[in-house]
Amino acid sequence: MDRSRADDVLSEWSTVAKTARRPFSSPKPRMTRTMLPAGLLAGATLVVAIVFVIGFGSRSNQPVASGSSSPSPSATASATASASPTASVVGPLASPSATASQRVGTPAGVAASVPNCDIADLYDTSPPVISGGDMFIECALPDSGAEVVARVNLTTNEVVKTYPNNYPINVLRGFAVAGGALWIRNDNGSGCSLPCTGFTHLLRVDLVSGNVTRDLVDTILEGVGSGYVLAGDIKSGHDLKLDPATGDSKGEVSSTLAGAQEVCGSLWNRDQNSDGTTTTFKRLDPSSGKVLASFTEQSMVDEPQQVDGQCWAVARTTGIGADGFLHTSYRFIRITPSGIDFRGPILPDGSQAALFNGTLWRLTPGAADPMSSNPDPLTTMQRIDPATAQPVGPIWTYTGYAPAFVADGSLWASEAGNPPEALDRLNVPLGAIGS
């Protein structure tokens, strides 16, 4: 019997895949920031941006630990410098996921669609960047799976330029926009183990021409801040400040401050341990890098956001449920300069917590698993009132995957399909509750 082309491809795939060699030792968690070069932190852009010299003066933005808007006392934990473990959240909760009534709601309108942009199938993505009135976003092209950065005009919602990621091999691992250029971390996709010499490239791509004007080998994009592109030198382990116009190094960043974020009016280092169980917050003195406060939450905590003058974040805990499958439970937490002073109720199984532009949301899948075979995944969205930690207002429904980010005042989500072929801009209000 003649072999088909599909069989040939599979046979070759199998042969090549089996050349992979297992590491000598199994991975074990370790706290990496102090043990590894800070430059090895990967290249997320906005969120990981080092902003240590961006204004810290707004003390009015400090999170408020108490007040009339505090959630109900029954759910409130006392502030502590070393946060106590949260309640057990491993496994599925008693509450059913996404009941029929929850599926009924107000359809969210789609204001616009960006075609040929699949964000659901990207493995490792950067959040979008808004620059010059345009949105830069990493997309997989649905036809080929190739990863590109697309430039979307936010007035017309049209893709005005795509920057192919074809150098040296198509593995895009984050980008930023600075100095009239797109900065792309691009890995050689042939695989490596530390120190991965010659593996990682940081490319400066001219926004107008799309030409690569600088190729920095063994350099990891860390973010943009204080007028510099911030990058990690893999070989030295140092964090560098690069001139965004040229890519030339203009000095180093203190390792203490590298990776710090200014959020909620303070400068923080937020370390999630490698086994996904704890997050340690360290509040830093921006001038000296001295640790002013430190506390650990027994969950994975995403980037905090300021919400009505307070500082909130999504906390996730993952564990094996009674069904033997891995489950992630979500809750909102409130952060003060010295600890966690409030942990909201765990959302029902099947729901996710999300923060968009300082608003709290409960999302129910449809989109939790973009590999779902359901051709019409249905997502529901409902605001959570930070004053009560309870759902409030209309339940919005959207035939597509869960909103992935907020940009230009709108929620954006992948439309239905496998792979999704477009990115939708949703008409869902993000203003004050009830507005």
Partner 1 sequence: MRGSSIVAESADLLYERAFEAHWGDVFRFSLAWTNDWAAAEDMVQDAYLRLWGTRERIDWEQPVLPWLLVTTRRLATDRFRSLKRRFVPSGSETGALDESVRVRWLDVRAAMSVLSPLERTALVLTALEGVSYDEAAQTLGTSAGALRAAVSRARQKLEAA
67 counts as binding partner 1 under rule CB under 8 A: no
Residues 81, 87, 104, 192: which binds partner 1 (CB under 8 A)? 192
Closest alpha carbon to 119 in 135, 137, 143? 137
**Which of 150-158, 191-199, 203-211, 280-288 is the region at the interface with partner 1 (rule: CB under 8 A)?**
191-199
C-beta of residue 39 within 8 angstroms of C-beta of residue 237: yes
Residues 1, 3, 23, 435: which binds partner 1 (CB under 8 A)? 23
C-beta of residue 406 within 8 angstroms of C-beta of residue 124: no
**Which of 8-16, 63-71, 244-252, 336-344 is the region at the interface with partner 1 (rule: CB under 8 A)?**
8-16
Q: Cα(345)–Cα(143) distance, rounded to whole angstroms?
A: 42
206 counts as binding partner 1 under rule CB under 8 A: no
35-54 positions binding partner 1, by CB under 8 A: 36, 40-42, 44, 47-48
Q: Cα(106)–Cα(338) distance, rounded to whole angstroms?
A: 40
| Bridge-based pairing state of the strands 279-284 and 310-320 | unpaired
184 counts as binding partner 1 under rule CB under 8 A: no
Task: Tell me, by CB under 8 A, how many residues bind partner 1.
Answer: 86
Closest alpha carbon to 415 in 426, 401, 428, 404? 401
Q: Cα(407)–Cα(27) distance, rounded to whole angstroms?
A: 37
CB of 52 to partner 1, least distance (A): 16
Q: Cα(174)–Cα(155) distance, rounded to whole angstroms?
A: 25
Which of residues 27 and 57 has its CB atom nearest to partner 1 in the complex?
27
Which of residues 30 and 250 has its CB atom nearest to partner 1 in the complex?
30
Binding mask 264-303 for partner 1 (x = CB under 8 A): ------x-x-xxxx----------------------x-xx
CB of 352 to partner 1, least distance (A): 10
Closest alpha carbon to 29 in 319, 259, 237, 277? 277
CB of 145 to partner 1, least distance (A): 4
State whether the Cα torsion 89-31-221-260 is positive or negative: positive
Q: Cα(432)–Cα(285) distance, rounded to whole angstroms?
A: 33
**Which of 158-166, 235-243, 304-312, 317-325 is the region at the interface with partner 1 (rule: CB under 8 A)?**
317-325
426 counts as binding partner 1 under rule CB under 8 A: no
